[in-house]
Chains A and B, each alone.
Chain A
Amino acid sequence: MIWFIGRRLAAAALVLVAISMLVFLIFFATPGVDPAARIAGRNADPATLAQVRQAFGLDRPLPIRYLLLMRHLVVDRDLTSYVNRGVKVVPQILQAVPITLSLVTGAAVLWLVLGIAMGVGAASRQGTAVDPVIVFLGVVGVSIPVYWLGEVVNLITQSRLHNSLFSWVPPLGYVGLTTDPWQWALHLLFPWLTLAMLYAGIYARILRSEMVVALNEDYVRTARAKGISERRILIRHALRTSLIPIVSLFGLDFGALIGGAALLTEVVFGLPGIGKLTFDALENVDLPVIMGCVLYAAFFVVLANAIVDVAYAGLDPRVRRA
């Protein structure tokens, strides 16, 4: 098991290096794209361009530039933005991380609880009216776009019913967990619910179909022939084996969201998280920030994958020693 984990983490590190090189090459080695021209601004004269090249080290060979960039980003941690001169990249990311982390973690807890409850509920009540109702709710959750749902939620809680039913809802924004846990949760409540809606729907559907298959498996029949309770059959046998694909899906979703895929939710609810930061950097072609954000996001996706693999081995004895 230790060997398995070690090997998996080493592979993850390699993937990170490869991703950073790829991002670097996309921005600096794409023919016809001159970062110096972007930095210097429109219609800059050749002298300014040369000066910019020299100042930003763009006249040096690619491998050196890559190494320098990585050194500033990872070792010295003093890489600065191209657009907003003097603003360092790493602190910017570090500031955005807790916001995204709070948003996504809270939502993940919600959607897992909701999704599993709905999936198990639907699968165990197959053939009754409850099953299609849950499935329908799931489809609704999946179908509603986050930005629309978020705006509607804001409209209701911040404006239309703000003076009556939702007077307790704080204004949009973020309050640190360490500053005031209660306000932190209150500020994030609706973002959590909004983000969780989509994923709960997806997870409920997938889990339901997995469980329906599992409940028809021979081992469930064996379990029933043993005379154990329906509840135990459902949880210990059917749910336990159905969780395996859910775990891998969760790892990927969670990693991607932490890495910035929660952008729409962040923008709608005014949360300056990683998604927002990446989006702004992309708009300004602010390479150092993009590099930082991409590496950060890749790190989480790769980490999540590695954790999924390890969890997989824990959940499914058949993949161990593979």
Chain B
Amino acid sequence: MPLSTWPTRGSTRGCVVPEARWSADEPLLDVRDLTVRFRSRRDVVTAVDRLSFSVNTAEILGVVGESGSGKSVTMMSLLKLIRNPNCTVSGQALFRGQDLIAMPDKAMRSLRGRSIAMIFQDPMTALTPVYTVGWHIVEQLRAHGHVPARDARRRAVELLDEVGIPDAAGRVDDYPHQFSGGMRQRAVIAMALAHNPTLLIADEPTTALDVTTQAQILELLRRLQREHDSSIVLITHDMGVISEIADRVLVMYAGRAVETGPRQEVFRRPNHPYTWGLLGSVPRVGRARLRRLPTIPGHPISPDQIPEGCAFQRRCRHRHNRCVELPPLMGALDHRDACWLPREDRQAIRRTSDVAAAAAGDPGDAVPAAAESEPV
């Protein structure tokens, strides 16, 4: 299945407005101090707090964090998809040099689905149930400029074929309810690829799918990224997914970046206690089988209860006096974290912490056979 490039009339790679002051070696998307606030009856809740990150061309950025850490809100606010009138977004998000936050709705609309496409979590409800899968793709194809109906339909079949729907020509007129979850997600991806977007935002695209389908969808995303040179922002709460596919990782907690860096670095030498917790709670084949999987104690924090200083302090095993101060992102240029723990001792602290977590998760009665075969 070769990935063909669709010649879109009048535009290559979906640039609408002439790009000012942007050269290809700058990041494709550069978000600075993004803040998203929701005004409620009583007070103002900050869902995303001065978040900065960037996505380079042809790079996969994995954004990871528990539910409620502001991953989805961040991405939706970039595309102005939050319709809540009580929501205010501030900061700057330069996409090819254009600020998305300050962009008027109309210009934003012409970017959506063309230069920036987005895939959502639940494929079961992502398609309007009364229209065929083909109709949805054709709508996307014709959303930006005129495409003759017949061409659009032919292209829809091609796209379905590209994302691996068997018998695409026969299935193009099926309704969403006749597709399985994995097929629907493929159809949604096909739709998102219709205009060869420069940036694809995938919001937990595999969460609602079973593990086999999950792997196929990830493989599909990786292949598309490689062959189209698109950048992908992959939102997930699954460290396993990140480890398979991401080039760089952004770990979020309570609407803030707590650690960011190249995948290898973050996985090999994670610096933030929250990242340790996320990595520690991944079950591994071949590791000692414990009764209980170590978890991060407590619950994800609700955005209206964030304490002064480090948001993670209440759940952190290594809390100390300094944590009441808000830690900035610090460290080497590309691997940074927001934590006050002494940088030199981090890995040592982590090792002791892992032992403690294992002990807490497994109070002295680990399955003997598994304990013996622990490889270490």
Contact = CB atoms under 8 A, between A and B. Distances in A.
Contacts of A127: 85
B128 A241 contact: yes
Given A127-B85, A218-B126, A318-B175, A226 B120 contact: no
B228 interface: no
B128 A227 contact: no
Contacts of A60: none
A301 to B, nearest CB: 27
Contact of B143 (A227, A315, A318): A227
| Most B C-beta atoms less than 10 A away, residue of A218, A221, A227, A229 | A227
Interface residues of A, number: 21
A241 to B, nearest CB: 6
Given A240-B130, A241-B129, A221 B120 contact: yes
Interface of B: 79, 81, 85, 109-114, 117-118, 120, 122, 125-130, 132, 139-140, 143-144, 175, 177, 188, 191
18 contacts: A218-B120, A218-B126, A219-B126, A219-B128, A222-B128, A223-B128, A223-B139, A224-B112, A225-B79, A225-B117, A225-B120, A227-B143, A227-B144, A228-B139, A228-B143, A241-B130, A317-B130, A318-B175
A139 B162 CA distance: 52
| Most A C-beta atoms less than 10 A away, residue of B118, B127, B128, B129 | B128
B126 A224 contact: no
A225 B110 CA distance: 10
A225 B112 contact: yes
Contact of A225 (B113, B122, B125, B177): B113
Given A221-B81, A244-B130, 11 more contacts: A218-B125, A219-B127, A222-B191, A225-B79, A225-B81, A225-B113, A225-B118, A226-B140, A227-B109, A241-B130, A318-B129
A53 interface: no
Nearest to B178: A317
Contacts of B112: 224-227
Contacts of A226: 112-113, 139-140, 143, 191
A218 B122 contact: yes
Question: A interface, by DSSP: helix, strand, loop or mixed?
Answer: helix
Contacts, number: 67
A221 to B, nearest CB: 6
Nearest to B14: A227
Given A240-B130, A317-B177, A227 B113 contact: yes
B356 to A, nearest CB: 41
A229 B175 CA distance: 23
Contact of A315 (B113, B127, B130): B130
A244 B188 CA distance: 24
Nearest to A218: B125
Contacts of B125: 217-219
| Most B C-beta atoms less than 10 A away, residue of A217, A223, A315 | A223
B98 to A, nearest CB: 15
Contacts of B175: 317-318
A316 interface: yes
